[in-house]
Structure 1
Amino acid sequence: MDLFIKITQENSLKFSTAIRFVNFVTLTRDAIVETSLAEKPPTLPNSVVRFLSKVLEIEPVEVEILWDILGDFAWSSAIQYEVSKSDIEAFRAYGLEMGVGYRDIYPPYRACAVPSCILYGTRLTDHFKHKATLFTLAEGALPIYTHSLRCRGCRTSYYHNYRVDNATSSRLYYDGVPDVIQVAMHYYIESTLLESFATYMLFAWVSSTNCARIYNMKDADPFLLNTKYHGCTLSLDDNDDNDNHHGTWQTSLRLTSVFVFDGFLLYSLLRHHDEQDTILSLPHDTTQSLRLNAALEAQNKQMEGTGQEYWAHACDICLKLSKNSHGDTVKMQAAVSDGDTIGHYCCGVRNCRNPLPSMRAFWCHEHASMADLCVVKGCGRPRVLPHRTCSDHHTVEKQYHARGNSLFVLRNRLEAARAFTSSLDSMPVDPSALAEECSTVENADNEEDSEEVKMGKRLRAQFARSRTSNEQLIIRPCGVIVSRTTCFGSEAISAVEEFVRKTFPTAASMPEYFFYDKNCLLWRYVQRRHQEHWKYTAMPVDVFHHNSKHKASDVDCQLHCNPAGFPEIITPDGHWIFNTSIAEQTNGWFGKYQAIVRDMEVVRFNFFLDEMIKRRNRVIIAQLKRDGHSPILMDKEALLA
């Protein structure tokens, strides 16, 4: 304090000016260091001097005097300074034109970190600076400068999140999850903001498009509206055609759905590699969408079957211990399976698992020749261009397209309704007559529809792109999702059985009780093919489905799948000891992602759903701990041995 008073007395400076000088030195620390090493530079860069001169309203020579006197104190000060909006506005008003932004982004390295480089440990001198945008949680969208450094020896380039290996042209990300993640060229998002987006997606089923809209309308800093930056007016218009690329500031301050989703994907990958203590490596010379594909696909492969984090979960809700007649402890663990009609686009050939060459493709590369054939099922004749049918089936195609051009039908109905209403103005209204009239119109419509249905039964055609049948889940009775897979053509018994064996690949890992609404069909299939793998697993159907969907005359179903045949898992008052309805309850959460994922490319579709499952499992585990259920992870290696 005495030092501040002495400075202000000797140099005729205000006390508040000296305090603000120290604060702004803290905010511009990276700009002061720039390409130097960590020690305090003897002089301030010219851009910082001019910026501080403008902000503090003093002469540049006075800024240099303050640096000489207060520089050591400001540089070593550990005081936590709370940034105000006026400080941020100062950077916007004066800093940007000087090349200094609030929260500019720098690489964490100032010296080469490649041990094999001849300049290893030497200061990096090749410095590059670009205009960029940083989207933050608390401070809105910020115009910033992003900086990168390059080693003259090994030509390795250092960025905020990663370094680029010149020999392999690959991005090697640094350890841990960074506080700011680059989601596109010159666009960055705070990890805390990406985490909030992931939370919206998990609990409220908010799409990336709506996350961006919410941010632009609610969370972006209102001071950005119609604010001028060095002759550049920036706005937060949600119009996709307005990229705010005007004047001298070249990056938009409007968050887009692409930035949100690519940021979510990259953030999730970095979290995963941090948890696995591995390094994420991505190709550098490609687009952002293609750059992520290989890493996402590798993660998807890892999640198949036994890959979920809580695959080996057990708690007192899903695992019961009891004594048998011999006094031995008996383990009873259950799993429940069900499907939900969420799907992605796939090849038009039934059960084909090949990826589509593009999101608009109807066929995979292997079945591309199908595009030249009539789309009517069973026809097989070449189509007649520009139609998608052969000459015999043009009528079917015409009827298909007519369904989308029925405005004249709606108009006729509207006119009829108006005429009917005007005729009632001069007579008493008879509610029964109105009901009868409406019933007549509805019946007429049903007759037309029935004729179309009849025609559809005779001639079936596939004009639209095909979708997969459903997503199949295996869930513990406590709600932890063990595994997920895609059923392509249908929820076939063979596909479900293969999914179970992939999820529980050893007899030791198989649950003692497996609940599935089609267990009688599954039991017959198992008896013919994989009886040994299932020999210690009972296959009851839950009470609801057994009463409503299974015939009393089916002897095998009654003997092997009737829940009454398993008294050990039924309480004396007739209730299950396991929650066999957990699949339907989980589908209430899982099924709401249909609107979000319906148009996703398959790699992102799988990654997104697996990530949501992983996050939901963590929430359930935390809740189980709070409720005193003591969840544990069993020995996975022993179960799979």
Structure 2
Amino acid sequence: MPDGTLARTEVVVTDGVTIGRPCCGVPQCKNPLENNHHRFCSVDPDHKKLETTCAIEGCNCPVTRDSKSGKYRKACDDPVHVKMEGANVESLCSGKSKTQCQKVAKLDNAMSSLDPPQLPADLTVALPIQDGDEWYKHDAQTGAVCLVRPAVMTSTGVLDTQPEMSHPAVDCESKDTPPKLKAIFRRQRTNNEQLVVRPCGVINGHGTMYHHETVSNVLIMIEQLYSLPRARKPQHLIYDSNCNALREVLNQCIKFFDGMGMCIDAFHHKNKHKASDTFCRDRCDMKAYPELLDDNGKYYFNSSIAKQTNVWFGAFHNICREMTPASIPITHT
């Protein structure tokens, strides 16, 4: 420590990497698919029945056959639903699938945290997009249907560019605004693998995030991992969204994290979190903990090790993307 005293400090860093495999399209369902070409599992009869039901959210009509090919559609005979399926097929032919965008975005985000000398010139200012829900926009006048993919920055915490909330009567959308049309035409994939890495680079554990990498899921994973027999709870957990995770811990009174430092990666804390967020600055800054600094006041531990590991780990995406859960070795480590 900077004052010359000695102390034992164990640190772990966690971050997610996109190694998505096919999974059931019903949220929170962890049952494996009977076949990787299916969209829903066969373990639950209600989920299996969805294979022959219109893919548009809220429609329970059965699917119909295509008059030209004779094959079953994934939509009913509603003209708008048929056009939505056509827009989905067109997006697949363009090569800009959600999975490809997600893979490139998260890999770029991981590389952006490395030191500038290690990066190619075209990646030093990369600002990739975050996973977003797709929906379909229908123009009632022309009858046209198009697929919409929102572009959201990957910055964690609160963005400086986030608009301030004004009067609710001004900001709320009109009640006449039509609801977004959503559908499950394609196989759903797990969102990411959440790695827990020691500063030396050893992967200490992992968890599969099926639909979203929420801070509550990360906290549950950390608690389960270090509650195993003979497991030692670390003194510090470093995570890009630890300001939100710490708020969750305080609001839910989660006793497991008592006495554990919850800091944000030094790169993210400096560049991707709002400077006016006093809670984040006071409670999640690595500089507030002397045991995390060396004699010169610099960071003793590599807080970006998880993202650096993700660059290597992400190379296995093309190998694992079509595997079943039983075929992916990491799911059993």
Report how far residue 376 of structure 1 moved. 1.9
Alignment partner for residue 362 of structure 1, among 22, 35, 39? 39
Is 1:336 aligned to 2:16, yes or no?
Answer: no
Match of 1:529 among 246, 252, 255: 252
Asked whether the 8 Å contact 1:570–1:577 carries over to 2, the reply is yes
Distance 1:455 1:381 in 2: 26
Partner-residue secondary structure (3-state), 2:193: strand
RMSD (Å) for aligned C-alpha atoms: 2.8
Q: TM-score, normalized by length of structure 1?
A: 0.35
Aligned-pair CA distance for 1:593? 0.4
Which of the numbers 328, 343, 346 marks the counterpart of 2:23?
346
Q: Give the 3 Å change call, closer, same or farther, for CA 321–554 of structure 1 in structure 2.
A: closer
Aligned residue for 1:472, secondary structure, equals strand
- 1:90-105 alignment, distance < 5 Å: none
Distance (Å, rounded) in 1 between the aligned partners of 2:193 and 2:92: 30
Instruction: For 1:482, give the aligned amino acid.
Output: N
Q: 1:403 to 1:499 in 2, by over 3 A?
A: closer
Match of 2:55 among 375, 384, 409: 375
- What are the within-5 Å matches in structure 2 for residues 232-631 of structure 1? 330-365=7-42, 366=44, 367-385=47-65, 386-392=72-78, 393-403=81-91, 452-454=146-148, 458-505=180-227, 509-529=232-252, 531-605=254-328, 607=329
Structure showing greater relative contact order (alpha-carbon pairs closer than 8 Å, 6 or more residues apart): 2
Q: Cα gap change, 1:508/1:601 in structure 2, threshold over 3 Å: closer, same or farther? A: closer
Instruction: Output the CA distance in 2 between the equivalents of 1:553 and 1:459.
Output: 37
How many angstroms apart in 2 are the aligned matches of 1:321 and 1:562? 17
**Mapping for residues 25-64 of structure 1, pairs under 5 Å:** none
- Per-residue CA deviation, residues 555-604 of structure 1 (Å, 9 max, x unaligned), is 32122112232233123544211111111111121110001111111111
**CA distance 1:602–1:405, shift in 2 (3 Å):** closer
User: Aligned partners of 1:455, 1:525: CA distance in 2, in Å?
Assistant: 29
Pairing 1:162-241 to 2, within 5 Å after superposition:
none
| Residue 399 of structure 1, CA deviation | 2.3
Q: CA–CA distance in 1 between the matches of 2:301 and 2:332?
A: 25
- 1:461 positional shift: 2.1
Q: Which amino acid aligns with 2:318?
A: A
Deviation string 1:349-406 (CA, Å, 9 cap, x unpaired) is: 1221111112222111211121232212343443334221123311111222244568
Deviation of 1:468 (Å): 0.2
How far residue 454 of structure 1 moved from its aligned partner, in angstroms, is: 4.4
Consecutive aligned runs of 4 or more in structure 1 exceeding 4 Å deviation = 320-324, 403-406, 453-457, 608-611
Larger proportion of helix: 1
Q: Distance in 2 between matches of 1:490 and 1:505?
A: 23
Give the Cα–Cα distance (whole angstroms) in 1 for the partners of residues 312 and 209 of structure 2.
19
**2:37 alignment partner AA:** R
Relative distance call for 1:377 and 1:521 in structure 2 (3 A) is same
* Matching residue's letter, 1:501: E
Determine the C-alpha separation between the residues in 2 that align with 1:541 and 1:374.
44
Secondary structure of residue in 2 paired with 1:359: coil
* SS of alignment partner, residue 486 of structure 1: strand
Q: TM-score, normalised by structure 2?
A: 0.66
Contact 2:9–2:291, Cα closer than 8 Å, also in 1: no
* Residue pair 1:323, 1:330 contacting (<8 A) in 2 also: no
Q: Distance in 2 between matches of 1:454 and 1:404?
A: 13
CA contact (8 A) 1:332 1:512 kept: yes
Percent identity reads: 34
The one-letter amino acid of 1:330's match is A
Look up the match of 1:188. Answer: none
Query: Which structure 2 residue ranges, 5 or more long, are not aligned?
Result: 66-71, 95-144, 151-178
* Aligned counterparts of 1:381 and 1:559: Cα–Cα separation in 2: 54
Distance 1:321 1:472 in 2: 33
Alpha-carbon distance change, 562 to 383 in structure 1, aligned in 2, over 3 angstroms: same
- CA separation in 1, counterparts of 2:17 and 2:187? 19
Cα-to-partner distance string for 1:88-124 (whole Å, 9 max, x where unaligned):
xxxxxxxxxxxxxxxxxxxxxxxxxxxxxxxxxxxxx
Distance of 1:399 and 1:526 partners within structure 2 = 43
Q: Does the residue aligned with 1:355 lie in a helix, a strand or coil?
A: coil
Contact 1:343-1:467 within 8 A present in 2 as well: yes
Secondary structure at 1:332 match in 2: coil
